[in-house]
Structure 1
């Protein structure tokens, strides 16, 4: 029967022992100054007990209320001690959330997103540059306390001298803080946002640095250069030749897989995940490009996954392979990426193809959003004619080919 204890009885209880109130509630007495409440119960044949707090901090009425709550849990099939442990763990986790540092959140963001980044170099740079430029400033600060002053302190020292790095770091800080807000680890506006905020405090990069374009081989010299490349037995030379004939980026060419290439349709389909713009790109293959692929097949014998495999065959050839080849050829006056500019200049100066055809061949966005909504076609027929003309031009030493007209192009 509950209600055996009263305030007067409790006051008189000073001898060590346990004194029951009923319903599983007990007063545990060590001496006159040390008394506390216990709730004792049996679950699944096992006797258990849990503390409800010291007396008189927890009054008799409070203790009875707590005991009633625990009995209700037992009737619902819930172990009161297990429930208390779960609540403590949840409270600890919530407290941990509130004290996460910027570095801890950045590391979680990095782990969550790095699988979607295209290359190992980017994943490595993300972490090392954070260590160099951001963490020393506010890496140990709770993420919800990072403000404009901290962001500026990290960016200002490098904004003028290392502008590209600074711009990249600003974007990374913004991404981490957005991630923290989405996870409810911080509130309010993002202090690393550019528009309407840091743009008022820092000069735009365009005002403090000049745009540096990739050095390119003049289009008139492509034929002679291609003759030298074809003479090399290296697989890197075949990759460079393919890159030039298709006007794609280095990582797109090096990652080419045989399953992406349909020689019957003379078409190479690069999946969205390997494209800079994350949009599938279809590349018409010219006769010289198809002949090159036939040569590569015959030289490799049994082909594997990649068109340009590394020596061990499990990965594609390094994206640095073509640059290394240019170094061995003592051609440091232009870059591999510059061949896209060479192609663009040739289209503009040597052909009558519309500008948008050349831009689409380079997988560039063409026109406004409205224009793109109406222009759904990839113009593959015209692009195939353009790539065929480019392939023929690349096979002409000294670049003496005629201007390419657009008559008869459908």
Structure 2
């Protein structure tokens, strides 16, 4: 039996809110979307947290891993969390400003959804610049630089790397298994680890009280902006030295962390020994129809391991 004096958790608040408001949402599809988005993205992060203890930091932990790559989904999720926390405040379970509010709050931290949606493909490094850029990155110190280095070696998304926990890593098997709830496609994804990627992990010192491999100063998850700042400073250093900087050859814009996956994809496309599907699986993209995916039992793990070794050799040339 629940303790009536215990503080209300976010999951409890969401369930109570949905019980009272679901009938107003119209279609069954809309109702399902509301519940599913909270269950998939919010509950695993803040579900057990008392609503009175949820601040902007907790909201960012939920939103940041998805804001740049699943902007529409993340924007809707933010609004739903705001509604739940507004209900909790009216009911007296929390006080103060709503930490999920956009205007005058999160809009000062996160990029505007319309600006992100308009950005299209992320500016990427040219293949000709990749190795020189990577050498410059390895000379940089700090946790964010190591995240960017590991992200490059694995072709993983920023949020996947920043949210990595030690429980997901099997150093002996040289394997990183990302659970479905942290993946854009909602499916578990296995990442083979090369010697270079393993070396980065083994050099990391676990922080007491933090589950993250790459932890922020107070033990939480590093922000996406922290990683982007490393790449921006690298570009600015090149420009200051009188060089062009790290520029996307197509858009002529400075390359960003999210564009590294495109650089990897361009590299894989130039190597006929690596089938297209294998590169797409490495990027955790959906391949083929539902029927084709049902019959594809493997994820080419060992073949992808060889591919990632070749990719690592290319960027370290």
Q: What TM-score, normalized to structure 2?
A: 0.61
Aligned to 2:223: 318
After superposition, the Cα gap between the structure-2 partners of 1:109 and 1:249, relative to the gap in structure 1 and judged at 3 Å, is closer
Aligned to 2:76: 126
Structure 1 CA distance for aligned equivalents of residues 307 and 271 of structure 2: 11
Aligned to 1:256: 164
SS in 2 for 1:290: helix
- 1:263-312 Cα shifts (integer Å, max 9, x gaps): 11110000000000010000000111111212224xx6879411111100
- Equivalent residues in 2 for 1:54-69, closer than 5 Å: none
After superposition, the Cα gap between the structure-2 partners of 1:366 and 1:231, relative to the gap in structure 1 and judged at 3 Å, is same
SS in 2 for 1:232: coil
Structure 2 CA distance for aligned equivalents of residues 229 and 337 of structure 1: 15
How far did 1:320 drift?
Answer: 1.6
Q: Which has the higher contact order (CA 8 A, sep 6+)?
A: 2
- 1:200-233 Cα shifts (integer Å, max 9, x gaps): xxxxxxxxx8x82111101232211111111111
Structure 2 CA distance for aligned equivalents of residues 98 and 310 of structure 1: 38
How far did 1:257 drift?
Answer: 0.7
After superposition, the Cα gap between the structure-2 partners of 1:216 and 1:373, relative to the gap in structure 1 and judged at 3 Å, is same
Among candidates 282, 286, 300, match of residue 190 of structure 2: 282
After superposition, the Cα gap between the structure-2 partners of 1:303 and 1:352, relative to the gap in structure 1 and judged at 3 Å, is farther
**Contact between 1:266 and 1:286, CA under 8 Å: does it hold in 2?**
yes
Structure 1 CA distance for aligned equivalents of residues 79 and 285 of structure 2: 29
Task: Select the structure of larger CA radius of gyration.
Answer: 1
- 1:5-24 Cα shifts (integer Å, max 9, x gaps): xxxxxxxxxxxxxxxxxxxx
- Equivalent residues in 2 for 1:357-396, closer than 5 Å: 357-396=278-317
Among candidates 41, 53, 70, match of residue 117 of structure 1: 41
Structure 2 CA distance for aligned equivalents of residues 282 and 127 of structure 1: 26
SS in 2 for 1:306: coil
After superposition, the Cα gap between the structure-2 partners of 1:226 and 1:351, relative to the gap in structure 1 and judged at 3 Å, is farther
After superposition, the Cα gap between the structure-2 partners of 1:295 and 1:126, relative to the gap in structure 1 and judged at 3 Å, is same
Structure 2 CA distance for aligned equivalents of residues 107 and 240 of structure 1: 38
Structure 1 CA distance for aligned equivalents of residues 78 and 228 of structure 2: 24
**Contact between 1:289 and 1:391, CA under 8 Å: does it hold in 2?**
no
After superposition, the Cα gap between the structure-2 partners of 1:129 and 1:383, relative to the gap in structure 1 and judged at 3 Å, is same
Aligned to 1:229: 137
Aligned to 1:52: none
**Contact between 2:232 and 2:256, CA under 8 Å: does it hold in 1?**
no
What is the alpha-carbon root mean square deviation over aligned residues?
3.3
After superposition, the Cα gap between the structure-2 partners of 1:265 and 1:112, relative to the gap in structure 1 and judged at 3 Å, is closer
How far did 1:115 drift?
Answer: 4.8
Asked whether 1:342 is paired with 2:285, we answer no
Structure 2 CA distance for aligned equivalents of residues 98 and 367 of structure 1: 35
Runs of 5+ consecutive residues of structure 1 not aligned to the other structure: 1-95, 131-163, 169-208, 397-410
After superposition, the Cα gap between the structure-2 partners of 1:125 and 1:348, relative to the gap in structure 1 and judged at 3 Å, is closer
- Equivalent residues in 2 for 1:292-311, closer than 5 Å: 292-297=200-205, 304-311=210-217
Q: What TM-score, normalized to structure 1?
A: 0.48
How far did 1:344 drift?
Answer: 0.5
SS in 2 for 1:325: helix
After superposition, the Cα gap between the structure-2 partners of 1:101 and 1:276, relative to the gap in structure 1 and judged at 3 Å, is closer
| Greater fraction strand | 1
After superposition, the Cα gap between the structure-2 partners of 1:124 and 1:347, relative to the gap in structure 1 and judged at 3 Å, is closer
Structure 2 CA distance for aligned equivalents of residues 222 and 109 of structure 1: 40
Runs of 5+ consecutive residues of structure 2 not aligned to the other structure: 1-19, 43-61, 68-72, 81-112, 237-245, 247-252
